[in-house]
Amino acid sequence: MSRLPLTVGIIANPASGRDVRRLTANAGLFSSTDKVSVIQRLLAAFGATGIERVLMPTDMTGIAAAVQKNSHSRQARDSHWPALEFLDLTLRQSVEDTRKAARWMAERGVALIAVLGGDGTHKAVAAEVGDIPLLTLSTGTNNAFPELREATSAGLAGGLFASGRIPAEIALRRNKRLLVREPARGLHEIALVDVAVSSLPFIGARAISRAADLAEVFVTFAEPQSIGLSALCGLWLPVTRQEPYGAWMRLDPHAPQALLVPLAPGLLQGCGVRDAGYLQTGVPRPLSLPSGTLALDGEREIEFNLHDRPTVTLDGGGPLSIDVQAALAFTAQERLLAIGREHPQHPVNLQHQDTPGE
């Protein structure tokens, strides 16, 4: 029986880094060309670590087409890119495209999925793939879940894990999540970073960009350097990714204490802090407002009214992700990237290739 090629997936959200916060704040643009560059760096790292096949979805912004075209270049041959296979989706230009691509990759048994996007993109992929690890790459607006990493080093960490050279107990991290439940409505949604309670009655423009619209926020982790809603707790009551609890904060413009918070890149607003505390695992928390909307990982998705009783619960059953720092530390310790003279990138072979006249 023939062995199946070692396969990973890459999902790049074409819409990430392009939302309304380019208008309401000073967020930068992460273009399709930038995403193509990130993917090509991943492919070089995957090729160097033994990945044989990469699955990607098609898109309407030219990302997949550019990668496919560049796969025939000399650079791709010299870097030994893996073989590419594309899923020709019926595109809706919505989050369903991301979910469908993630399901396809899960069905094909990929060893990991590299995700290019923000918090919402990672949440959509995580909801479809179970315990397939995610290699997280930040190309969105307010990115807390995907850490900012150079794609080449991230690709090396992911590729070495997928090829079996780094054990799972070192390379993988289990993430926390927030469960939003309303039994009467059959509501069961997840957030990877934050759930914000807003007084705005309708979903409308999904992003929250005004402190006055916030009443409460729950977070799985909150780092002081974060941008976005999780920065509220990050600058008041920080919680690391590894700690077994989260945090919450109740807001009120008339509170005696206020905090200046970067709600989006270049957008700093004062938020009145009424109360804050730690969020314990497995304990459902009711909301402070009788009606309004809920934003999950930065985007309003759920409306609730006087007859609803939604709760927010922290648990430790979130997705697995590649711990790039730990994986590369193990790589250095075990010298996993040491190469012999037979390797095409050994300096002796490179010197021979560059000899004039040959």
pLDDT at position 358 is 42
Whole-model pTM? 0.91
Q: Where are the beta strands (DSSP E) in 70-167?
A: 83-87, 113-117, 134-138
List domains and CATH numbers for the chain. Answer: 7-174+323-353 (3.40.50), 177-315 (2.60.200)
**pLDDT recorded at residue 213:** 92
Which pLDDT score, from 0 to 100, does residue 21 have?
Answer: 46
| DSSP symbols for 142-178 | S-SSS----HHHHHHHHHHHHTTSS-HHHHEEEPPEE
Q: Which pLDDT score is estimated for 98?
A: 94
pLDDT at residue 17, rounded to an integer:
53
pLDDT of residue 82: 97
Q: What pLDDT is attached to residue 81?
A: 96
Q: Considering Cα of 136, then 175, then 99, then 53, what sign does the dihedral take?
A: positive
Q: Are strands 246-251 and 83-87 parallel, antiparallel or unpaired?
A: unpaired
**What pLDDT is stored for residue 357 in this prediction?**
45
Report which secondary-structure segment, H or E, holds 194: strand 194-198
- pLDDT, averaged per 10 consecutive residues of the chain (358 residues), comes to 86 74 56 94 97 95 95 92 91 90 96 96 96 93 84 98 98 98 93 95 80 95 93 96 97 96 92 97 96 93 92 97 98 95 86 54
